[in-house]
């Protein structure tokens, strides 16, 4: 590592290789809502088929995250990264050329798998090749990429539809991924260090050298039973939240999924007691910074992800604006999120988890001031475009919370578990997002059914504020814990 605050040439190349495909995978999440109506008209897709364009990606993405992170730890992050990018690029091509809804939905599921493979490798690579302030800076840049993808996705989708029309505009939204995927694979092969092609070894852990070779081979397995149990458990937990329209019976999957996850924890303990390396080292959750940080971010995603969906519905269904206009209202927030993440990454280790707590306070201010704007609008005072300002505080908060929390949450995790720990962290985000979207949009629709979209947004935003406050309480507890002298 180079001295000082600057990054080495190798580190800069790793960032470029890792963050560009990450940007494209997240862009595919934010762009899809805008192009769904065009898909419906061009392919004659049913409502259920359109639902699967969204949920197929989300389910496959969430299910493979932890297994992919573990595989990267064991076999090498470069291989898994290239496999994920390749899968994402090929399925993007198939999606863009899809002749019917079935082909599109299958391709979207494969796209989700590709995203699920590559995302934990990005976290693992940043954890492996960056230390101290540079790690905070790297995760800050990752947060910048997340913010930009959120900002550009809806706007780009609207622009592509406007330029190419319904028939080709939605296809261009997928095809744009292909050249970036090809370049990412080429540069990954050329630029990723040799150490990224082999198992992650924690140089500070004497166990890696002390374990006899025969037992060390046992450490390099994928724990296939654990992979299946956790994947099935996460799938069952996610299913009712992303497929709630199927019927009331789908909710039986939730308790069944929790039972499967409980069985997975028992299996992991048993697997470890036999001298094998489990899929996830459950002792990770004994690391307070990891467990508390995981709770904070899961709760934060449960609340704040729904903000942009509810605002889009308020703008389009409540006020009759176009999809492009509804995308533009979140643009300043997303751009400020990117800037905030970059700045926060520079100071995360100086400020610690206090930075995250102040981000949560900033988010609450943005939510409550947005409620005030809509309440005034309902009385004929002001304009909905005042939300450009109030939602900007939510955007600033995103940059102060997400990347700094991720940096601090993973800071004490041993390197050899960085991929699986990142997978656990991102799985919590996916579950939180799915739960929040299902519950909080249902709250908004329930209020709209008996009132209007003004009250619907107000009640939904107040519910989001409650979830964010709970995340803040956990954050304050973590700040107080780190202030206590360690015995």
CA 312 and chain centroid, separation? 20
Within 10 angstroms of residue 355's Cβ, the number of other Cβ atoms is: 21
> How confident is the model over 283-304, as a mean pLDDT?
90
Residue 192 DSSP label: S
pLDDT confidence of 151, banded at 50, 70, 90?
Answer: confident
pLDDT, mean over the chain? 86
In angstroms, the CA 255 to CA 413 distance is: 30
The alpha helices in 314-417, defined as continuous H runs, are 323-328, 331-351, 353-378, 387-410
CA 16 and chain centroid, separation? 19
388-442 pLDDT, tens digit per residue, is 999 999 999 999 998 899 889 988 888 777 888 888 888 888 888 878 877 888 8
State the pLDDT at residue 65: 87
More confident residue, 375 or 222: 375
The answer to whether 142 and 16 are in contact (CB under 8 A) is no
State the pLDDT at residue 46: 80
State the pLDDT at residue 487: 43
State the pLDDT at residue 210: 40
State the pLDDT at residue 127: 87
159-211 pLDDT, tens digit per residue, is 888 888 888 999 999 999 999 999 999 999 999 999 899 886 654 443 344 44
64-108 pLDDT, tens digit per residue, is 888 888 888 888 899 999 999 999 999 999 999 999 999 999 999
Indicate if the pLDDT at residue 460 is higher than 80: yes
337-349 pLDDT, tens digit per residue, is 889 988 998 888 8
In angstroms, the CA 167 to CA 44 distance is: 11
């Amino acid at each position: 590592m180079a001295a000082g605050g600057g990054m080495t040439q190798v580190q800069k190349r790793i960032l470029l290789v890792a963050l560009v495909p990450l940007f494209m995978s997240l862009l595919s999440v934010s762009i899809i809502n805008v192009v769904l109506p065009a898909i419906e008209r061009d392919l004659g897709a049913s409502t259920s088929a359109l639902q699967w364009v969204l949920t197929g990606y989300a389910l496959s993405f969430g299910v493979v995250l932890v297994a992919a992170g573990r595989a990267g730890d064991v076999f090498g992050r470069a291989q898994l990264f290239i496999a994920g990018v390749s899968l994402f690029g090929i399925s993007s091509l198939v999606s863009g050329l899809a002749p019917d809804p079935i082909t599109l939905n299958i391709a979207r599921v494969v796209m989700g798998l590709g995203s699920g493979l590559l995302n934990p490798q990005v976290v693992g690579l940043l954890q492996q090749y960056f230390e101290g302030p540079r790690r905070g800076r790297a995760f800050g840049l990752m947060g910048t990429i997340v913010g930009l993808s959120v900002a550009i996705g809806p706007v780009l989708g609207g622009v592509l539809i406007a330029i190419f029309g319904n028939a080709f505009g939605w296809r261009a939204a997928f095809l744009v991924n292909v050249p970036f995927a090809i370049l990412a694979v080429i540069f990954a092969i050329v630029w990723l260090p040799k150490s990224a092609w082999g198992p992650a070894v924690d140089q500070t852990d004497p166990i890696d050298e002390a374990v006899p070779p025969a037992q060390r081979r046992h450490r390099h397995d994928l724990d296939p039973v654990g992979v299946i149990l956790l994947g099935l458990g996460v799938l069952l937990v996610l299913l009712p939240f992303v497929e709630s329209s199927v019927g009331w019976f789908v909710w039986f999957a939730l308790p069944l999924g929790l039972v499967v996850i409980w069985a997975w924890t028992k299996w992991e303990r048993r697997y470890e007691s036999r001298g094998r390396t489990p899929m996830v080292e459950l002792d990770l959750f004994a690391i307070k910074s990891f467990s508390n940080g995981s709770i904070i971010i899961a709760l934060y995603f449960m609340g704040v992800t729904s903000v942009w969906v509810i605002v889009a519905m308020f703008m389009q269904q409540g006020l009759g604006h176009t999809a492009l206009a509804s995308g533009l209202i979140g643009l300043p927030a997303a751009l400020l999120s990117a800037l905030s993440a970059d700045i926060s990454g520079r100071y995360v280790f100086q400020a610690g988890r206090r930075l995250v707590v102040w981000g949560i306070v900033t988010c609450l201010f943005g939510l409550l001031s947005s409620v005030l704007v809509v309440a005034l609008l309902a009385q004929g005072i002001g304009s909905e475009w005042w939300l450009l300002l109030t939602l900007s505080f939510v955007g600033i908060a995103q940059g102060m919370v997400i990347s700094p929390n991720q940096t601090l949450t993973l800071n004490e995790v041993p390197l050899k578990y960085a991929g699986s720990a990142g997978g656990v962290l991102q799985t919590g985000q996916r579950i939180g997002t799915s739960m929040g979207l299902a519950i909080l949009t249902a709250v908004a629709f329930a209020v709209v059914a008996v009132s209007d979209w003004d009250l619907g947004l107000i009640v939904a935003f107040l519910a989001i504020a409650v979830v964010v406050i709970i995340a803040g309480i956990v954050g304050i507890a973590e700040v107080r814990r780190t202030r206590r002298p360690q015995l």
